Amino acid sequence: MQNKTCRISSSSPQNIKDRRHLIRCLLVCTTLFFCGCTSSYSSQGVKYSGKNTKIYTPLPIRADEDKLVQMLETISTLLGTDYHYGGESVRGFDCSGFVQYIYKDTFEAHLPRTSRQLSKIGAKISPGKLRRGDLVFFKLNSHQIDHVGIYLDRNLFVHASSSRGVTMGNLDERYYKKRFVKAVRLLEIKASFRQ
């Protein structure tokens, strides 16, 4: 009995052409796949290297006022926590690790890890329009952004200071005023209606 399955004969010119076409298609698909995975820009416009590409929470992060209260409560429990370079837990924080922890704990948000990367996301806000939860950025020790904090109210912000751990600062203080670079908003807060 004759087998009716189709076999590709390597000697046929048409089959060789089909194989080349198949290989080309596979190469194109593979290239497109890897280009998409290692793109240097995320959907939020932040530049990342291909191997460190992560999925970050889309902005703005929508939350109600109760979440802001929760954020303040969490911050109050963390005041005085030690500074630890690269730290992102209650055992110790650096400035961006602290911001990342607060946003993940309160809003279940995944944000970039460094202050410089954080400064490239969100909507830029003028200092006169700051609201609770906005991020404030500074150049403390370099010509590039190297420090971040979370704005609270009345020009007060909370941050992980290398000398004092998690503490509050004031944007009106000469030290911070001179080094302030920008502020960004990641949150869109809707009013909570209680009965």
Q: What does pLDDT average to over the chain? A: 81
pLDDT, one tens digit per residue, over 19-30 is: 555 445 444 443
Q: Does residue 4 surpass a pLDDT of 80?
A: no
Give the residue extent of every domain in the chain.
Answer: 57-190
Give the chain as a 3 state SS string.
CCCCCCCCCCCCHHHHHHHHHHHHHHHHHHHHHHHHHCCCECCCCCECCHHHCCCCCCCCEEEEHHHHHHHHHHHHHHCCCCECCCCEECCEECHHHHHHHHHHHHHCCCCCCCHHHHCCCCEEECHHHCCCCCEEEECCCCCCCCEEEEEEECCEEEEEECCCEEEEEECCCHHHHHHEEEEEECEEEECCCCC
**pLDDT confidence tier of residue 54, bands split at 50, 70 and 90:** confident
Q: Check residue 18 and give its pLDDT.
A: 58
pLDDT of 33 over the 50 cut: no
| pLDDT tens-digit readout, 124-146 | 999 999 999 999 999 999 899 99
Give the catalytic positions in this structure: 95, 143, 159
- Domain 57-190 is of which CATH architecture? Alpha-Beta Complex (3.90)
pLDDT digits (tens, 9 = 90+) for 86-111: 999 999 999 999 999 999 999 999 99
pLDDT value at residue 17: 57
